Amino acid sequence: MRDREFGLESPLLGVVVALAAASSCFAAEKGFMLNDRETIVFLGDSVTEAGTSTEGYITLFKLACDVTGHRVKVINSGISGHKSNDMLARLQKDVIDHHPNWVSISCGDNIGLAIDSVDSYQGDYNIFRNDDPGRAVIVWDHEPEFSVSMIAAGDWATYSGQDQHSLVSTDPDTQLFEDLGNWDFHLREGSIAINKGTADGAPPEDYDGVSRPQGAGFDIGAYERK
């Protein structure tokens, strides 16, 4: 079997793992190369389970394959609420037994923080934010899930005994960073993270080598606002 170059540019797949197959040939060129009659299994949680809906990401992936002439077999092995350990437990039945050429693994895409129990978590001086504001924190043995607004109201701190000084951001573009779209995590003027950190365990310099603190207190994050 020839060496295969895997260069996936589409955001549809997330993490993709290539499984060695005895008779697979992929062109060694940029792009995700599929052969006809190959099988791809999508392993995941609720996002994957819904992936075969009309506008789901698996449906869109299969449509792209059809349009480009790739006759592939697609198997949806997503189960709502499953974590990585659940997926590992069913890996043989739901993945390996299908003898796939490719596997897409997606987990926790719409959850901010997920923990088994509150006893397994310790944290403070964090900033909570999630694309799905209703699922900022999930504790698997507790209902309901904690939304961003519940965290802002103190419900999470009261329940967990943690994050007594943590904050909530509803818009990091305007509340936190200089240029989030270009991965610039320097704090912008007026950022809610300025002076809201702690000296306990904090390095004496930030990621740029700037001494800390620069103001009345340590800033939350990798960079100190000068």
pLDDT by 10s per residue, the chain, length 226: 233 333 333 333 333 333 323 223 333 344 557 788 899 999 998 889 999 998 899 999 999 888 888 889 999 999 987 877 888 999 999 999 999 999 998 876 667 888 888 898 999 999 998 888 888 898 877 888 899 999 999 999 999 999 999 999 999 999 999 998 888 999 999 999 999 999 998 899 999 999 999 999 999 999 999 8
CATH H superfamily, domain 15-106: SGNH hydrolase (3.40.50.1110)
Q: Render the burial of 151-189: b for 16+ CB within 10 Å, e for the rest.
A: bbeeebeeebeebeebbbbeebeebbbeeeeeeeebbbe
122 and 162 Cβ atoms separated by less than 8 Å: yes
- For the record, the structure tokens of 34 come out as 């599929």
- Annotated domain spans of the chain: 15-106, 113-168, 171-226
pTM: 0.59
Rounded to an integer, what distance in angstroms lies between the CA atom of residue 41 and that of residue 221?
38
30 and 5 Cβ atoms separated by less than 8 Å: yes
- Which residues have C-beta within 8 Å of that of residue 182, sequence separation ≥ 6? none
